[in-house]
A = this chain, B = another copy of it.
């Protein structure tokens, strides 16, 4: 009997001791999903391609309108004209008011700061305190926050989050894409419409030249070229990467959250019993090749 208890304890211990890497390595294929090419953008820069997954669950109109503008070529031959180190890289047509009126897409659309769906979203909660929101967690791969009382969800500004810049009026954005390139910028939550996340290629965004005025001058116009932005479904299959992302409502991902909260590897001498939503990277891999993008 004692032997059984010892064996059971060892089994429990070895389950608890799994690192995020081990969880990924042992995850079943059912814990992963392909990116939907209709909801994926390929941003081609001079040093390589940045792949962005769009979030129609959170900002359907921004996703729809951005794809219309993309398909009309509004973002081709534009630039990341404002790049503030440790903060955001902002790109698209630097002077949208001067370009030809798009046929299908709109240059400005109404804000979608939060979403209030009729039925609750499939929200995988972290279950820990957060200074900016009542609850944080994940919906379909996207780091998010949830106000149960109001029935509202919104995406959180983490590293690699894509959102829409705007002027002072709430509904003044439409072409000013920005990507978070440093610390999480959670104070921007609920102030802009977040509608995507970078899946791979952040190093190409990081490679961009910084604005000279670090307050965020728009002075990189014509530099930091955006060669093109395409919807993946408009590319030939052989031009797409076979990217997969872990399902954030899977048992594997829930195990990763737990593992991140208390890192069990031999290396970790102090455990915080805490993790913030922006510190749980959602695993990405190439289908079959199973190269992991994770830290």
Contacts and interface: CB of A to CB of B under 8 A. Distances in A.
A168 B267 contact: yes
Contacts of A87: 295
Given A131-B274, A191-B270, A295-B215, A86 B202 contact: yes
Q: Place the interface of chain A in its size category.
A: 35 or more
Interface in A207-228: 207, 209-210, 214-216
A8 to B, nearest CB: 27
Interface string A92-108: 00000000000000000
Given A85-B203, A187-B260, A279-B185, A215 B272 contact: no
A187 B263 contact: yes
A25 to B, nearest CB: 10
Given A292-B214, A294-B215, A168 B272 contact: no
Nearest to A180: B183
Interface of A: 21, 84-87, 113, 128-132, 158-160, 167-168, 170, 181-187, 189-191, 202-203, 206-207, 209-210, 214-216, 260, 263, 266-270, 272, 274-276, 278-279, 281, 291-295
